[in-house]
Amino acid sequence: MPTTILVAGGAGYIGSHTVKYLLKNNYNVVVVDNLVYGHKEAVLTPNFEQIDLADKSALDRVFKKYKIDAVIHFAAFTYVGESVVDPKKYYWNNVVNTLNLLDVMIENNVKNIVFSSTCATYGNPQYTPLDENHPQNPINPYGKTKLMMEQIMADYEEAYGLKYAALRYFNAAGADFQGELGECHDPETHLIPIVLKAIKGDIPNIKVFGTDYDTPDGTCIRDYIHVEDLADAHMLALEKIFKDNKSIHINLGTGIGTSVKEIIQAAEEVTGQKVPLVYVGRREGDPAILYASNNKAKELLNWTTKYMDIKEIIKTAWLWEKGDKFKSNKDYLTVN
């Protein structure tokens, strides 16, 4: 089993939770992050290197300094809308910089990588729940960058013996149950934090994008998966590819669909407060229904989702949202 894991993008939302989880499970963790969107206070290991994946020689130094055994790679730009108007930003960062990381891995004889992919690689669903065999036809540059990397890694497996786990996330949600870490995007575009910010009064209201979808209540249905369950899946996936020496593609979701209106209602129940909202038109590119078949994750990884109830997920997000963000991590503020 690997002992020292490099986490690229370990200062970001899912990355920071995974770092915490790996540390709890006695892995030695090294975080690489350029802090463009990440937060230094979210890095819970002293082994932190602020470098950009564009800087291959800096990356190579990190691999040699810490004797890296395996990689978990979260570092990417993830705003779908932005990827449409500024695709080069996405292709350079999500594809070219990831190629740098793969190069350095191969040069240092590191063969195992867990890669953040996305259900956006499927595009508009032809059926639900989405399983891993669903055709992949992404409809925006963000989804395309992730599919390209899956395809490139398949070629690298053939040629260089790389072993990868492509984890296709559905909607990551929630926060660390101890309130130590959480979602902190700027700008924030995701439904649950926006709903909670509207409740807090940080923003005037939440705009519900579309009420005329072909769903029971007319609003979009998504599969919200708790970030700690994602963290667990990353560790299990890494152990699996290491043990079997075989690459895998896996969906990560709860298998449960929840509508926008159901999220709002659940948030009202959790917080005991009304959500100020306005109904507006559809957001471009939003499919009506997306939820996962997670059978493969359960079977291959022996993965179980701890957070099945959307109210439990929202509770952790609320604890984070109303708290003093990263307060318990101030010891780490001086880390360089």
Q: Which stretch binds ligand UDP (CB under 6 A): 27-35, 107-115, 184-192, 250-258?
A: 184-192
Q: Binding marks (x or -) toward ligand UDP, 200..229, rule CB under 6 A?
A: ------xxxx----------x-x-------
What does the alpha-carbon distance between residue 42 and residue 60 come to, in Å, rounded to a whole number?
24
How many beta carbons lie within 10 A of that of residue 72, not counting itself? Answer: 29
Asked if 175 touches ligand UDP (CB under 6 A), the answer is no
From the list 56, 190, 197, 298, which residue makes contact with ligand UDP (rule: CB under 6 A)?
190
The pairing of beta strand 258-259 with beta strand 28-32: unpaired
Asked if 130 touches ligand UDP (CB under 6 A), the answer is no
Asked if 167 touches ligand UDP (CB under 6 A), the answer is no
Dmax over CA atoms of the chain, in Å, equals 56
- Helix, strand, or coil here: 333? helix
From the list 151, 178, 189, 304, which residue makes contact with ligand UDP (rule: CB under 6 A)?
189
| Residue least distant from ligand UDP (Cβ) | 220
Q: Which stretch binds ligand UDP (CB under 6 A): 51-59, 98-106, 139-147, 190-198?
A: 190-198
Min. distance of Cβ 304 from ligand UDP in angstroms?
23
Min. distance of Cβ 207 from ligand UDP in angstroms?
5
How many beta carbons lie within 10 A of that of residue 287, not counting itself? Answer: 17
The pairing of beta strand 28-32 with beta strand 4-8: parallel
Just list the catalytic residues: 142
In DSSP terms, 116 is beta-bridged to: 167
Q: Binding marks (x or -) toward ligand UDP, 256..275, rule CB under 6 A?
A: ----x---------------
Of 192, 113, 118, 119, the residue nearest 156 (C-alpha): 113
Min. distance of Cβ 165 from ligand UDP in angstroms?
21
How many residues sit in the footprint of ligand UDP (CB under 6 A)? 14
Give all strands of the β-sheet with 28-32 in edge-to-edge order: 48-49, 28-32, 4-8, 70-73, 112-118, 163-169, 248-252
The residue among 120 and 231 lying less far from ligand UDP, judged by its C-beta, is 120
The residue among 2 and 285 lying less far from ligand UDP, judged by its C-beta, is 285
- In the 8-state DSSP scheme, what is residue 203? S
Q: Which stretch binds ligand UDP (CB under 6 A): 42-50, 129-137, 185-193, 246-254?
A: 185-193
Two structure tokens written together for 6: 């490099």
- Helix, strand, or coil here: 102? helix
Contact 58, 51 (CB under 8 A): yes
What does the alpha-carbon distance between residue 122 and residue 285 come to, in Å, rounded to a whole number?
13
Q: Which stretch binds ligand UDP (CB under 6 A): 84-92, 161-169, 183-191, 295-303?
A: 183-191
Asked if 197 touches ligand UDP (CB under 6 A), the answer is no
* Residue listed under structure tokens 């065999």: 133
Contact 34, 62 (CB under 8 A): no
Asked if 252 touches ligand UDP (CB under 6 A), the answer is no
Scan residues 280-299 and list those touching ligand UDP (CB under 6 A). 283, 286
What does the alpha-carbon distance between residue 87 and residue 85 come to, in Å, rounded to a whole number?
6
Q: Which residues bind ligand UDP (CB under 6 A)?
A: 171, 189-191, 194, 206-209, 220, 222, 260, 283, 286
